[in-house]
Structure 1
Amino acid sequence: MTFGCKTKQSNSEKRVDQKNETIITTKNNNPVFEGWYADPEGIVFDKEYWIFPTYSAKYEKQVFFDAFSSPDLVNWTKHEKVLDTSNVKWAHRAVWAPSIIEKDNKYYLFFGANDIQSDDEIGGIGVSVADSPQGPYKDLLGKPLVDKFHNGAQPIDQFVFHDKDGQYYLIYGGWKHCNIAKLKDDFTGFIPFEDGTIFKEITPENYVEGPFMFIKDGKYYFMWSEGGWTGPDYSVAYAIADSPFGPFKSMGKILKQDPNIANGAGHHSVIHVPNSDDYYIVYHRRPETEKDGKIRDSRETCIEKMYFNEDGTIKPIIMTKEGVKANKI
């Protein structure tokens, strides 16, 4: 059963204002909620912020998704087990990287499962549906939507992109390959491109996994994670193009480790506050306090403000413990 519970706020830090000789309390909002969570997808539904992350644990324990909602990016409510593999008969482990979209008053949650290593295994990318963001979600197809390797891409790390012409695309891929495919209107399959192919590769240089796309000022911003997901070199890079098909030439990294705060910063998403110029990056990282064997699963979800240069390029993201201030929609 799905229910909500308040999530405890992060600890505060105190600092001395030397000029006024007073103690100022600054609340640390990163991580944004307690617990180990990764691969967060942030989105806005009905003037409320939502984050759908991977539960960061051993693969065999990754059999559900929790979700989190907030009116202001600071105070978060946890919704437990919005999707559980008990409702997905073909998924049994490694449930990863949820991506959610609302369409016709239904909520579609796409997910990866089972971490398949070949076309001979059962698993891949699935899609579930619910009547509200907090679920409960049920398997839409009774089987994976993508269950094979195409163009070398492992069927994981899915993102659903809604283009300005109304078309929905699935963008996905691990193992250093990224595909884009045109979704049917009911999300039950794909529409071939004009040349008859289903999956087109749009892999930029140094791409590893974790694709994300958004439109700003008529341009397509394509973002992805580089490096090893368990290592300090995990980071976020991006490109800008005139089409969701690219070509995408890397414009460099904008988020990477800070040894004083955390490493392994990546697999992110972007929230654009409607009717505003406010953009936020939602990402995971491994705090510097986590060492040795614990580092693999010790991933926390954080938010930072995004800023752009006059030419539309993205300014490097400064990783912080303070996070962001409250911002009601």
Structure 2
Amino acid sequence: MARNYLNPVYPHTMADPFVLRHDGLYYAYGTAPVGADGRAFPVLRSRDLVAWEPLGHALVPPGGHDFWAPEVAARDGKFYMYYSAQGIDDADHQLRVAVSEHPGGPFLDAGVVLVPDQPFSIDAHPFRDGDGQWYLYYCIDFLELEDDHRVGTGIVVDRLLDMTTLAGEPRVVVRPHEDWHLFLKNRAMYGAVYDWHTVEGPAMQCHDGRYYCFYSGGAWERENYGVSYVVADNPLGPFSRPAGGGRALLMSTRPGRLIGPGHNSFTCSPDGKETWIVYHAWQPDMGGRRMCIDQLHWENVRPVTDGPTWMERPAPSGG
């Protein structure tokens, strides 16, 4: 097993990486071009989070195109993939769910649009609380101004009644509210022009009884993209912002090294003693968003990481 690692840990495009640990193995899913077999979402397998074996592609598309940001939840012997697709029934990106008997796929679409009342929904993140209740964090667009919120894409949360049905009672987790959340000035959207801001890519972590929803803000192809978080006492919120939110508090661009780190997931080391953040970043050639890993630490109530790192580092423990 690996004693050290070097980012990126996989040499090909693997944006929005999500890692599921199952039966002692890690499975990674990401956004990338559709495979030669017509399936979407590359799936990789690893024993140590460092050496990754490609298994092909996971999703049998139900139609459409531009498949984004897969995340997988395991329940009662089945695996549920949450993702967005564009162009099905001429719709913009909508969240859907697909099901498989194996984490490597194939995943077959369940024929369900999870948020049918929204014209645009992406970046679903399933989360199981300690009492067994499942929640889904996801992104929609906000056009109204309220308090210091900006127009743009933000994150909401809803309860899952079962793995393919939401309660239909979404609550706001975080909307864009900082200058660094800018996606594009003068963006034409919904028949108007806005300075569009974005927070996306939710990922939940619990620490000392509190719920930390990590998010990525800014423009995914630019240097302002990075990772920050909001905090609550309940999975449904209300969520508060930590001090210092005028910058990405967890992870941001390292100029000339790794650019635009973000859209992360979390997993544990092989021995279960460490928490690792799995994310994508551009290298200076901007040749594709590639999968990286770094360890997450806690300084009392504050999450910290040395990432994004580009030098050789100790590999996850127990690998």
TM-score norm. by structure 2 comes to 0.79
Alignment match of 2:94 (pick from 117, 120, 124): 124
Q: Secondary structure at the match of 2:266?
A: strand
8 Å CA contact retained: 2:260, 2:281: yes
What number of residue pairs does the alignment pair up?
280
Contact 2:83–2:96, Cα closer than 8 Å, also in 1: yes
| Distance of aligned partners of 1:183 and 1:200 in 2 relative to their CA distance in 1, 3 Å threshold | same
Q: State how far apart, in whole Å, the 2-side matches of 1:122 and 1:227 are.
A: 21
Q: Deviations over 1:219-267 (max 9, x none)?
A: 1111001111111100000122211122222334210000131211111
Instruction: Report the residue type matching 1:304 in the other structure.
Output: D
Supply the distance in 2 between the matched residues of 1:178 and 1:239 (Cα, whole angstroms): 11
1:230 aligns with 2:221: yes
In 2: Cα distance, 1:188 partner to 1:47 partner: 26
Q: Work out whether 1:318 is the aligned partner of 2:307.
A: yes
1:111 aligns with 2:83: yes
Q: State how 1:210-221 maps to structure 2 within 5 Å.
A: 210-221=201-212
> Structure 1: how far apart are the matches of 2:39 and 2:215?
25
Letter in 2 for 1:52: Y
1:128 Cα offset (Å): 0.7
1:327 is displaced (CA, Å) by: 3.4
Query: How far 1:216 moved relative to its partner?
Result: 2.3
Which of 136, 139, 150 does residue 170 from structure 1 map onto?
Answer: 136
Task: Name segments (4+ residues, structure 1) moved above 3 Å.
Answer: 204-207, 273-277, 326-329
Partner of 1:184: 161
In the TM superposition, residue 199 of structure 1 has moved relative to its aligned partner by 1.7
Distance (Å, rounded) in 2 between the aligned partners of 1:128 and 1:178: 22
Residue 79 of structure 1, CA deviation: 1.2
Counterparts of 2:159 and 2:39 in 1: how far apart (Å)? Answer: 28
Tell whether the 8 Å contact from 2:295 to 2:305 is kept in structure 1 after alignment.
no
Structure 1 unpaired stretches of 5+: 1-9, 11-25, 193-197
Distance 1:219 1:277, change over 3 A: farther
1:70 aligns with 2:70: no
CA contact (8 A) 1:74 1:324 kept: no
| Cα shift at 1:324 | 4.9
Secondary structure of the structure 1 residue equivalent to 2:153: coil
Q: Is it true that 1:138 corresponds to 2:114 in the alignment?
A: no
Larger Rg, first or second structure (1 or 2)? 1
Deviation at 1:95, TM superposition (A): 0.5
Asked if 1 retains the 8 angstrom alpha-carbon contact of 2:267 and 2:275, the reply is yes
The CA deviation at 1:28 is: 4.8
Q: Quick one: which amino acid aligns to residue 157 of structure 1?
A: D
The aligned residue for residue 28 of structure 2 is 51
Query: Would the aligned equivalents of 1:62 and 1:93 in 2 still touch at CA under 8 Å?
Result: no
Task: Calculate percent identity across the aligned residue pairs.
Answer: 30
Distance 2:16 2:228 in 1: 15
What is the root-mean-square deviation of aligned Cα atoms in Å? 2.8
Q: 2:173 aligns with which of 202, 205, 208?
A: 202
Among 117, 131, 137, the alignment partner of 1:148 is 117
- 1:79 aligned partner: 55
The question of 1:41 aligning with 2:18 is answered yes
Q: Paired residue for 2:185? A: none
Offset, 1:62: 9.6
The structure that is strand-richer by fraction is 2
Asked whether the 8 Å contact 2:267–2:278 carries over to 1, the reply is yes
More displaced 10-residue stretch of structure 1: 198-207 or 214-223: 198-207
Q: Deviations over 1:43-65 (max 9, x none)?
A: 2111112211111x59xx99601
Alpha-carbon spacing, 1:28–1:327, altered in 2? closer, same or farther (3 Å): closer
Distance in 1 (alpha carbons) for counterparts of 2:303 and 2:281: 20
2:259 equivalent to 1:263? yes
Alpha-carbon deviation of 1:115? 7.4
For residues 223 and 283 of structure 2, what CA distance do their matches in structure 1 show?
11
Matched residue type, 2:122: I
Q: Is the 8 Å Cα contact of residues 115 and 156 (structure 1) preserved in structure 2? A: no
Closer, same or farther: CA 275–72 of 1 in aligned 2, 3 Å: closer
* Aligned counterparts of 2:38 and 2:226: Cα–Cα separation in 1: 23
> Take 1:176 and 1:62, find their aligned partners in 2: how far apart are those partners?
30
Residue 80 of structure 2 aligns with an amino acid whose one-letter code is: Y
Query: Hey, what's the Cα distance between the residues in 2 that align with 1:268 and 1:105?
Result: 25
| Residue 96 (structure 1) shift | 0.6
